[in-house]
Amino acid sequence: AFGSQTIDITVKAPSEETLTAVTAAIATAVTETKSADSVTTSLDDTQSYISISIKRKEAARYALSEVLIGRTLTGLIAPTAIGQVVIDDVTMDLIVETKNSPDTLGELRKFKLTTPLGGTVLLSKVATIGITETAASRTTERGVLSASVAVTPTSDNLSESTAAVNAALASVTLPSGTTATVGGVSQDQVESFQQLGLALLAAILIVYVVMVATFRSLRQPLLLLVSIPFAATGAIALQIISGIPLGISSLIGLLMLVGIVVTNAIVLIDLVNQYRERGGSVIESLLDGTSRRVRPVLMTALATVFALTPLATGVTGSGGFISQPLAIVVIGGLLSSTILTLLVLPALYSLVEGRKERKATRRALKA
């Protein structure tokens, strides 16, 4: 399971207006794809605030500046300490409060400012006052404003949902300096695929090293590793037939198959080598070894397949989203690798080892 259950889109923009517009456009585009149960943004939660925009020309007529008006309003609405006083060894803040400070928007508009010229002027005459809505919270990344769009997919097929989100993202024209990147559960899956891919390569390498030490040959272990592509063929084919999307559980199943399918090949080739050490030819050893190993190899594979059938059919309940893809991959890989191991591997062994035997026979005849 991933830490996040949503596909997240991170939007970065140089201004708040651009950020709001692009985030809304992306959310609308994703919603129209009908591939999401819900689409939410970090800008959905809003809060209201009083907006005061100074009319610079009008304020200049009364010798007022934005700084002076701002300082006056700050002391009016949120008075701060102008000093401290000590009474009976107790230090107290000294705060000057304005009598009859405005409590409503109408009273604020009627508030009279004292000008440097000694007169008064209504605040509404030198400023535009209103209530504006903005995002309840803002985030920045390295000084750039950012917002996020969270998409909850309708389907369990994360690859399909991610493709739909990317298509919706591509349909939105981004202004200059604005970026949008996909993350969340989609990014988690990509990273998990990369890690399991490396683990799969490491497992194949370890298996090869062990077989080289066992068979004391560099060539025969390569023949045995052919069973891995055989297993991958069946695993992918059965997954496509079943309609189960490729996921982390599927890759874990492939990782398990590396050890399972190679075991059958080792059992077969090891017996063939024993017959050859006793003086048998390659063809005779293959025929005898295959005929003796076909039954135990089939029984082992079928036993594993039958044991995993309940998981593959999804009768395990709520845990099926993890166990079902894994079981399907292992069953498909076992079926294909078992059949191909018993048919193709002996042919490859005969081709490689038989060539060595024929060369040795020709040398003996020439001698």
Walk along the chain (367 residues) in steps of 10 and give the mean pLDDT of each run.
Answer: 66 86 88 83 80 87 86 75 80 75 80 84 87 75 82 75 83 86 70 80 87 83 82 85 78 82 84 86 87 87 87 66 80 87 85 77 69
211 belongs to a structural domain: no
Do 80 and 86 form a contact (C-beta atoms < 8 A)?
A: no
CATH label of the domain that carries residue 127: 3.30.2090.10
* 243, 340: one domain: yes
244 belongs to a structural domain: yes
212 belongs to a structural domain: no
* 41, 52: one domain: no
- Residue showing tokens 């769009």: 149
> Residue 87 half-sphere exposure, CB side, CA atoms within 13 Å?
5
200 belongs to a structural domain: no
* 350, 290: one domain: yes
* 290, 343: one domain: yes
Beta bridge partners of 38: 152
195 belongs to a structural domain: no
256 belongs to a structural domain: yes
* 238, 327: one domain: yes
Cα separation, 331 vs 301, in Å, equals: 9
3-class state of residue 149 by DSSP: strand
Cα separation, 309 vs 347, in Å, equals: 31
**Type of residue numbered 156:** D
* 150, 34: one domain: yes
310 belongs to a structural domain: yes
Question: What pLDDT score does 272 carry?
Answer: 87
Cα separation, 182 vs 324, in Å, equals: 28
* 180, 36: one domain: yes
* 41, 141: one domain: yes
* 122, 88: one domain: yes
Question: What pLDDT score does 320 carry?
Answer: 52
CATH label of the domain that carries residue 180: 3.30.70.1440
201 belongs to a structural domain: no
* 280, 360: one domain: yes
CA distances in angstroms from 245 to 159, 190, 216, 304, 324, listed in the order given: 8, 14, 41, 22, 11
Residue 194 in tokens: 């990369």
Cα separation, 71 vs 68, in Å, equals: 5
Q: Output the DSSP codes for 65-124.
A: -HHHHHHHHHHHHS--EEEEEEETTEEEEEE---TT---SHHHHHTPEEEPTTS-EEEHH
DSSP tag of 244: P
Question: What pLDDT score does 184 carry?
Answer: 63
* 11, 156: one domain: yes
Cα separation, 322 vs 311, in Å, equals: 9
116-120 long-range contacts, CB within 8 A, separation 24+: 116/63, 116/64, 116/68, 117/62, 117/63, 119/62
Do 282 and 350 form a contact (C-beta atoms < 8 A)?
A: yes
Do 11 and 146 form a contact (C-beta atoms < 8 A)?
A: yes
* 53, 40: one domain: no
Report the phi/psi class of residue 3: left, alpha or beta, with left for phi > 0 and alpha for psi in -120 to 50. alpha
* Number of domains making up the chain: 3
Domain limit, last residue, from 131, 158, 193: 131
What is the chain's percent helix, strand, coil content, to nearest 5? 60, 20, 20
Question: What pLDDT score does 308 carry?
Answer: 86
Domain extent for 323: 217-366
CA distances in angstroms from 321 to 55, 223, 305, 306, listed in the order given: 62, 35, 19, 19
